[in-house]
Structure 1
Amino acid sequence: MYVADKWNDYEVIDTGGGEKLERWGDVILRRPDPQIIWPLAKETAEWRSTHGHYHRSSSGGGSWEMKKPVPERWTINYENLKFHIRPTSFKHTGLFPEQAANWSWMMDKIASAGRPISVLNLFAYTGGATVAAAYAGASVVHVDAAKGMVQWAKENVQLSGLADRPVRFIMDDVFKFVQREQRRGNKYDAIIMDPPSYGRGPSGETWKLEQSLYPFLESCMSIISDNPLFMLINSYTTGISPTVLKNMLSMTMQPRYGGRITAGEIGLPITRSGLTLPCGILGRWEA
């Protein structure tokens, strides 16, 4: 288990009954989490007096019940990185704090490489990994199909004081972007991908992780440099084992480059119980 346990501005305070109680800076939120299948030991006053509570709808989706005023958005820090936080209509806040375990790892890899490193961040969302890689000194290409997420990522880079760093923001379908990079002959020393379980491209193309991930990973092999630093795959797809990601990297990166592969769950510490909340899985190849 890779645990993101170096946060000051974020905390999983308590869990139970399918929900988590979180602190985002000074804002307390209550959100559902499908991994939390254990009961809540006690619904304390803190659970009842949150700033916001996201309620799932029986017909799908859900909505926020805001009990106390909160800013339209606010800022939290992870070490020297800064991020805008905002409750969205689909329960998320614009940041997956468990990914800090990956940010610290990649920053160490980039900073100690002793050479310029180019990073490609695919399915890049609001740019947590982009900010981390740019802060560590890499040049970054950030690719996501959603205009709002790309704009949010730009603002996070600026917020962290990295506006002068070599970061390119691309709003595009990741498959088509990789194909164009193949034709252009562009190469990257590190690739990060956080693919969805299911999705549709702008022309109706269907992405289903179980069917699409391996072919996509294979296509990325043509844009990896001759001296790569790392490859990182994140997944939040239920039912996929970390060993699946390890096997895929063993079949693609390792035969060509050797190196080391690790895989496992990624999680967050729960303050009140001392337990760890599992949040997803990762697979890492590193030189």
Structure 2
Amino acid sequence: MFLADDWKDYELIDTGGGEKLERWGSYILRRPDPQVIWPLQDEYRLWREADGHYHRSSSGGGHWEFRKQLPERWTISWGPLSFHIKPTGFKHTGLFPEQAANWRWMMDVISKANRPVKVLNLFAYTGGATVACAAAGAEVCHVDASKGVVQWAKENLHLSGLGDRPVRFITDDAFKFVQREIRRGKRYDAIIMDPPSYGRGPNGETWKLENDLFRFIETVSEVLSDKPLFLLINSYTTGFSPTVLKNMLTLTIGRKHKGRITTGEIGLPVTRSGLVLPAGMLGRWEA
């Protein structure tokens, strides 16, 4: 398992009863998590007095309950990177802290390449990986279909003092963008993707991970340069095995380029219990 265990501004304090208790900078948040299927051992003071508690509705969705007025957003840092945090209506905060396990790896691979590196970040959300790659010296193309999160990613880049780095922000459907890049003859040395389990496009197109991921990896492989550096896939789809991801990478990029394929779970250490909370999985092809 790949652990994101080098945070100072974030902490997974405890888990239980379908929820997790987290510290985001100075604020404590209590949120549901589908992986937490063990009971809460002790609902001590921090659980009861969390600054924000997201209650899931039985009919879908949910709402935040705040014990005190929090700022509209605040900032946390990981190493040299900084991010805006904001509780959203979908329980998220705008950052997945477990991804620090990937940020460190990408920054290391890019820094050791000792050459210009072009990165394509697909389904790029608020830009954690984009900021990390830019900090390591890469030129980045950031693609997400949501205009709001693309703007959030721009703000995170500036917040990290990297506003002058060569980063291109694109609001578009990832698959259509990649198809256009193929026709334009554009190539990238590294590709990052965090595809959703299910999605619907602006014209009614549907995306289902188990049906479409293999074809998408094949298509994305066509925009890799002649000397690619890495391809990284993140997945939060429950029931999807790391071995399945390894097989897909082996049958696609593994047939075109020599390299090493690594897959596994990503996790967050739980301070109070010493447990590890699984938080998705990754698949890496590295030259």
TM-score tier after normalising by the smaller chain length: over 0.9
Tell whether 2:39 aligns with 1:39: yes
Which residue is 2:99 aligned to?
99
Q: CA shift at 1:51, angstroms?
A: 0.6
Aligned residue for 1:175, secondary structure, equals helix
Matches within 5 A, 1:244-283: 244-283=244-283
Q: CA shift at 1:270, angstroms?
A: 0.1
Which residue is 2:2 aligned to?
2
- How far, CA to CA, are the matches of 1:225 and 1:135 in structure 2? 21
Q: CA shift at 1:69, angstroms?
A: 1.8
Matches within 5 A, 1:1-287: 1-287=1-287
* 1:45 partner letter: R
* 1:207 partner letter: W
Q: CA shift at 1:33, angstroms?
A: 0.3
Aligned residue for 1:112, secondary structure, equals helix
- How far, CA to CA, are the matches of 1:62 and 1:214 in structure 2? 33
- How far, CA to CA, are the matches of 1:29 and 1:216 in structure 2? 36
- How far, CA to CA, are the matches of 2:193 and 2:4 in structure 1? 19
Whether the 8 Å contact between 1:20 and 1:32 is mirrored in structure 2 is yes
Q: CA shift at 1:190, angstroms?
A: 0.3
- How far, CA to CA, are the matches of 1:17 and 1:265 in structure 2? 22
- How far, CA to CA, are the matches of 2:107 and 2:149 in structure 1? 22
Aligned residue for 2:222, secondary structure, equals helix
Aligned residue for 2:134, secondary structure, equals helix
- How far, CA to CA, are the matches of 2:231 and 2:173 in structure 1? 20
Whether the 8 Å contact between 2:157 and 2:163 is mirrored in structure 1 is yes
Whether the 8 Å contact between 2:143 and 2:169 is mirrored in structure 1 is yes
Q: CA shift at 1:265, angstroms?
A: 0.3
* 2:206 partner letter: T
Q: CA shift at 1:216, angstroms?
A: 0.7
Aligned residue for 2:252, secondary structure, equals helix
* 2:34 partner letter: P
Q: CA shift at 1:191, angstroms?
A: 0.3
Aligned residue for 2:91, secondary structure, equals coil
Equivalent residue pairs, number:
287
Per-residue deviation, residues 123-155 of structure 1 (Å, max 9, x unmatched): 000000000000000000000000000000000
Q: CA shift at 1:119, angstroms?
A: 0.2
Per-residue deviation, residues 32-80 of structure 1 (Å, max 9, x unmatched): 0000000111000110111100000010000000112211000000000
- How far, CA to CA, are the matches of 1:262 and 1:219 in structure 2? 20
Per-residue deviation, residues 156-195 of structure 1 (Å, max 9, x unmatched): 0000000000000000011110010000000000000000
TM-score (norm 1): 0.99
Whether the 8 Å contact between 1:4 and 1:268 is mirrored in structure 2 is yes
- How far, CA to CA, are the matches of 1:201 and 1:189 in structure 2? 27
TM-score (norm 2): 0.99
- How far, CA to CA, are the matches of 1:245 and 1:203 in structure 2? 29
- How far, CA to CA, are the matches of 2:214 and 2:241 in structure 1? 14
Per-residue deviation, residues 188-211 of structure 1 (Å, max 9, x unmatched): 000000000000111111000000
Whether the 8 Å contact between 1:50 and 1:68 is mirrored in structure 2 is no
RMSD: 0.5
| Displacement over 4 Å in runs of 4+ | none
**Further displaced range: 54-63 or 253-262:** 253-262
* 1:4 partner letter: A
* 2:31 partner letter: R
- How far, CA to CA, are the matches of 1:277 and 1:238 in structure 2? 14
* 2:202 partner letter: P
Whether the 8 Å contact between 2:123 and 2:193 is mirrored in structure 1 is yes
Aligned residue for 1:223, secondary structure, equals coil
